[in-house]
Chains A and B, each alone.
Chain A
Amino acid sequence: MKKIFFAALMVLVPALAGAAEKFDLEGYASRFDSIPIGVIKFKPTNANLLKENFPWDIIENNLDLSGKFGVVALPEFDSASLAKRGIGVYVDGKYTLEADGKTVLIECYLRDVATRSLLVGKKYKGELKALRNMVHRYSNELVELLFSDRGIFESRILYVRAEGARKNIGIMDFDGHNRARLTNDNIINIFPTFADKSTVLWTSYQRGKPDIYRGSITAGTSKIFIQEKAMVVSPDVSTIDGTIAYASSQSGSLNVYTCSPDGSKKRQLTFSRGGIDTAPSWSPNGYQIAFTSDRGGGPQIYVMDATGSNQRRVTFEGRYNDTPAWSPKGDKIAYASLGDNYQYNIWTVSPDGNDAKMVANLPGANENPTWSPDGTLIAFVNTAGGRSDMYIVKHDGTRLRRITKTGDVRMPKWSHFW
């Protein structure tokens, strides 16, 4: 994948520090769970107009999807309209598309609604095709400024692109844009996961049975990584030390194993006989693993130490619970649950088995939950009428948003903060 470059040019705050002091940005931000903010259409500085990827639209969409903002978009600044909605700050800006149509400069300003004074300003310059990345960077900086937290706008999502019988691995920005293929085979490639920022592991049927492959996002290369006579599926990588958990039928039944980042030091953690232990998901501290097991009858979510000890069941509701995903904050495990209505919905539960609650129940099947790197959002796939698309919902079940409309998205896996 070709790299694209842009640069954040300068921070305008120092020149206008006096204005920033007048508006208590921290105090304003601390008053809300969801900060009210206005986004005003940027103005061009010359006659060259953008035809797509309008920065103000991207900012509006980013802030809305994050679940951290209540966004109002306006074509022009209108203090009465903003103040009426209780909005204290807004973003406006301008852009300069150079005559060659390849380079763009954007200037983004966070201002106080009452005085229109500048609180924080940033300039970014780069290739036009990097425009979305520039705006994502600015959105991250806004979140950092207002929440003292890292923004998720530069995070990416791996997914399985369903093309009939073919299943290939793809990658997209968190907002569903900037999609790219990582594999392009006539076979089945499934269960993608990030090994690090630029490396992906997934299960491929390249050799006629499932093995785990490793590929480079940037170089587009791939090679077999865990190869056994048995089937090897569902890799997940610890963000602490890179240890890989996966499921293998090496022992005759599908069980959970771990191995070192280089594939050595394989260790069996579960010992089901005739049953299925699969779909491991690391806790963010790298000390525990959630997994699916049918040892109690139907598939349920279990948790164990990464040594295989202290295995305990954490879900007790639902006929069939699968695909656990441990929150990056460590406090919740999301999973897909087949309820009494024979429909899969997305649920969360605490690692101690308490507080199980449903967070998404769109018509159709809701499956494969995956957490945003900041642990506030859950992406999942909804399959209805033969089409599969990705949605995002806040961990408390609010602010459900549709991300893709192509109907071919399966098994999303959100990146971590690297």
Chain B
Amino acid sequence: MIKAVKAIIFSCTVIVAALSSTGCSQLTVLRVKELNAVRDSIRADQQAYFNKLLEEQSKLLAEQRNASEMLRLLRADQLARFNEMDRKTSAISNNLSDSQSRLSRLDQKTSEFSRRLDQKLASEEDAANQRKAQQDKLFEIAMSDFNAGRYDLSISGFLDFLRQFPDAAQASDAEYWAAESRFAKKEYEAAEKEYMAFIKKYPDGQRSCSVFYKLGLAYEHQDKKKSMEMVWKNLLQRCPDSQEAQSVKARMGQ
């Protein structure tokens, strides 16, 4: 609009200048008055336009300011919301991290516990295995000494076994073979005592028939005939179908 007003003023000025330059003075004066009136009118219009424009501009500026304010408020609100969200997210994140940390610690504790438990179980199993292997080995050595006729060694081996492993499954075997070692070494008195102790401890054991028979032989070697007969009589009653009973019958001529 300002551009259009400026263009009209400029056109009038050019026309006045052109008429003035033609030399028609009378007419010119009249025309100047008219032109001035027009000019003033135009100026008034121009001013009105300006005022209107200014008013419009002020309105626009006010609207703009309102819009800006609204925008600022909106942005502030948004920012506040974002901050809140951020805070909440951060809090959640912290919680999560804390939970993860706790979980991790729990995991560590669980695995440590599990490891310790495994270690404990393994060490207990190892210890049990080692103990079993040790007792098997000790028994095996004593037995191999017996089989090779090294009776002094087998006696000390079996007795050592009994000292170390009195509750082992092979304990009765160790007692039996210790007595057998005495018998094989012809230490009949010692063998007699050990056979007697064995019978007292395991009266119905798997080896009782054999031990009754051997006890009788130990008596026989010591010329204790009555004891021998008594033991073998007992054997015949207890183990009538055994090989030992057959041997006794053969020996006693029955």
A240 touching B149 in the complex, CB below 8 Å, given contacts A307-B213, A308-B243, A310-B207: yes
Best-buried of A304, A305, A329 by chain B (most CB within 10 Å):
A305
* Across-interface contacts of A288 in B (CB, < 8 A): 147
| Residue B246 lies at the interface, judged by CB distance under 8 Å to chain A | yes
| Residue A351 lies at the interface, judged by CB distance under 8 Å to chain B | yes
| Residue B250 lies at the interface, judged by CB distance under 8 Å to chain A | yes
A250 → B minimal CB distance (Å): 11
User: Cα distance A258–B147 when bound, in Å?
Assistant: 19
B 185-218 to A, binary, CB cutoff 8 A, 1 in contact else 0: 0000000000000000000000101100110010
Verify B184–A285 contact, CB threshold 8 A.
yes
| Residue A372 lies at the interface, judged by CB distance under 8 Å to chain B | no
Best-buried of B207, B209, B246 by chain A (most CB within 10 Å):
B246
| Residue A287 lies at the interface, judged by CB distance under 8 Å to chain B | yes
Verify A308–B247 contact, CB threshold 8 A.
yes
A330 touching B247 in the complex, CB below 8 Å, given contacts A285-B184, A287-B184, A309-B210: no
User: Cα distance A309–B147 when bound, in Å?
Assistant: 16
User: Cα distance A283–B147 when bound, in Å?
Assistant: 7
| Residue B143 lies at the interface, judged by CB distance under 8 Å to chain A | yes
Chain B interface bracket (under 10, 10 to 19, 20 to 34, 35 or more) = 20 to 34
Q: When the two chains form the complex, which single residue of B149, B213, B243 contacts A285, counting CB atoms closer than 8 Å?
A: B149
* Across-interface contacts of B251 in A (CB, < 8 A): 267
B 169-189 to A, binary, CB cutoff 8 A, 1 in contact else 0: 000000000001000100000
A330 touching B214 in the complex, CB below 8 Å, given contacts A271-B243, A304-B243, A311-B243: no
* Across-interface contacts of A270 in B (CB, < 8 A): 243
| Residue B146 lies at the interface, judged by CB distance under 8 Å to chain A | yes
* Across-interface contacts of A307 in B (CB, < 8 A): 213-214, 217, 247
A352 touching B149 in the complex, CB below 8 Å, given contacts A308-B243, A309-B244: no
A284 touching B213 in the complex, CB below 8 Å, given contacts A267-B250, A307-B247, A309-B247: no
| Residue B252 lies at the interface, judged by CB distance under 8 Å to chain A | no
Verify A351–B207 contact, CB threshold 8 A.
no
User: Cα distance A304–B243 when bound, in Å?
Assistant: 10
* Count: A-B pairs, CB below 8 Å: 65
User: Could you tell me how many residues of chain A have their Cβ less than 8 Å away from some Cβ of chain B?
Assistant: 24
A285 touching B148 in the complex, CB below 8 Å, given contacts A304-B243, A308-B243: yes
Best-buried of A304, A310, A351 by chain B (most CB within 10 Å):
A310
* Across-interface contacts of B180 in A (CB, < 8 A): 287, 305
| Residue A268 lies at the interface, judged by CB distance under 8 Å to chain B | yes
A243 → B minimal CB distance (Å): 13
A285 → B minimal CB distance (Å): 3
| Residue A108 lies at the interface, judged by CB distance under 8 Å to chain B | no
A 56-73 to B, binary, CB cutoff 8 A, 1 in contact else 0: 000000000000000000
User: Cα distance A268–B252 when bound, in Å?
Assistant: 12
| Residue B144 lies at the interface, judged by CB distance under 8 Å to chain A | yes
Verify A269–B247 contact, CB threshold 8 A.
yes
| Residue A242 lies at the interface, judged by CB distance under 8 Å to chain B | no
B 237-254 to A, binary, CB cutoff 8 A, 1 in contact else 0: 000000110110011000
User: Cα distance A307–B247 when bound, in Å?
Assistant: 8
A292 → B minimal CB distance (Å): 15
| Residue A176 lies at the interface, judged by CB distance under 8 Å to chain B | no
User: Cα distance A9–B251 when bound, in Å?
Assistant: 56
Verify B210–A286 contact, CB threshold 8 A.
no
User: Cα distance A237–B250 when bound, in Å?
Assistant: 22
* Across-interface contacts of A284 in B (CB, < 8 A): 147-149
* Across-interface contacts of A285 in B (CB, < 8 A): 146-149, 151, 184
Residue of B with least CB distance to A330: B147
* Across-interface contacts of B213 in A (CB, < 8 A): 307, 309
User: Cα distance A307–B184 when bound, in Å?
Assistant: 11
* Across-interface contacts of B247 in A (CB, < 8 A): 268-269, 271, 307-309
Verify B149–A309 contact, CB threshold 8 A.
no
A 288-329 to B, binary, CB cutoff 8 A, 1 in contact else 0: 100000000000000011011111000000000000000001
| Residue A149 lies at the interface, judged by CB distance under 8 Å to chain B | no
Instruction: Knowing that A308-B247, A311-B243 touch, tell me 17 more A-B residue pairs with CB under 8 angstroms.
Output: A240-B149, A267-B250, A268-B247, A271-B247, A284-B149, A285-B184, A286-B149, A287-B180, A305-B214, A308-B243, A308-B246, A309-B209, A309-B243, A309-B244, A330-B146, A351-B143, A351-B147
7 tightest Cβ-Cβ pairs between the two chains A and B: A330-B147, A285-B149, A271-B246, A310-B210, A330-B148, A308-B247, A309-B210
Q: Which residues of B contact A (CB under 8 A)?
A: 143-144, 146-149, 151, 180, 184, 207, 209-210, 213-214, 217, 243-244, 246-247, 250-251
- Of the A-B pairs whose beta carbons lie under 8 Å apart in the complex, a sample of 9, sorted by A's number, is A240-B149, A268-B246, A271-B250, A285-B146, A308-B243, A309-B214, A311-B243, A330-B147, A331-B147
Q: Which residues of A contact B (CB under 8 A)?
A: 240, 267-271, 283-288, 304-305, 307-311, 329-331, 351-352
